Structure 1
């Protein structure tokens, strides 16, 4: 089985992905970490040195590479991955199950503010501006996220409840 988790930053893709991969005894792959490893620099450095266009091109290349793997995996995408190139088309035409990890703007903003320093897109924004930023981004990206084969709403749920619901939806 191959599982792809997509959704906005701080939606819980990595947290959920690591738990699901443990439970199913499969490899967990974070696409941003995979890219960093292959390119020998962080995603922030790639953006700064080579630019977003370069990043989006290699992101698509590495996504295709991972989708060609024969073994099972749980893949966590970057928040923007589904929105560029033909990435959603690739995902939906693969044998993987795509899952939109959905959270409300309020939930996302709360989580983002808690870990703001680790989020280059918002690190320099004042907290009051983050809600507007997230709402605008989510509006632009929702079209792509909603193309996933499964939607999993994580608002007001514990990790255990989310994992149980996901398990039921995968059966």
Structure 2
């Protein structure tokens, strides 16, 4: 299946917007709001993987392990590179590691401190559900260690960094939109 996607890869610059960042920073929420405001489609890499596997990500990890899940992320990235354009794509926290990330579109890091993310999740109306979806947060020390490990890596691959702390959704969306427009003009992406 992967070979099929690899043989169809296009060498053009993609108009996709790729949202990366630590789990719980608000990538999915931001993607849905952006898609609604600017009238584009949005997809979520974790949702794609869960649909393909017909099971949740925690179950994939439990049954098949992390290495298998990372292969699924790479397969998803290959499909996006081949077949998706003009779309906003919110990614799982570890998706930044795929080897063709930069070919998928403009990479936008939604950035916030670990404490802000943890507070956002634990104080939400549906906090139990949000935390259950991210079982790593049941061990805050481990989660913080992973956050610290990934923080520099996220910054290294990002084309644009948008700090989301203390900003309204509208401010975040405007900052993403204007930043991506400028970057895509420089890359020669046609509207």
Q: TM-score, with normalisation over the residues of structure 1? A: 0.86
Runs of 5+ unmatched residues, structure 1: none
Distance 1:170 1:61, change over 3 A: same
Alignment-derived partner of residue 58 in structure 2: 44
Q: TM-score, with normalisation over the residues of structure 2? A: 0.78
Instruction: Write the deviation string for residues 50-106 of structure 1: whole angstroms up to 9, x where unpaired.
Output: 1111111111111111122243111111011113xxx1x4111x1511000001122
Say how many residue pairs are matched: 160
**Is residue 81 of structure 1 aligned with residue 95 of structure 2?**
yes
CA distance in 1, matches of 2:84, 2:78: 12
Alignment-derived partner of residue 156 in structure 1: 166
Alignment-derived partner of residue 110 in structure 1: 119
Distance 1:72 1:46, change over 3 A: same
Runs of 4+ in 1 over 4 A off after TM superposition: none
CA distance in 1, matches of 2:177, 2:73: 28
| Structure 1 segment 18-167 matched on structure 2, within 5 A | 18-83=32-97, 87=98, 89-92=99-102, 94=103, 96-113=105-122, 114=127, 115-122=130-137, 124-125=138-139, 130=140, 132-146=141-155, 147-167=157-177
RMSD between aligned residues: 1.6
> Larger Cα Rg: Structure 1 or Structure 2?
2
Runs of 5+ unmatched residues, structure 2: 1-14, 182-191
Alignment-derived partner of residue 8 in structure 2: none
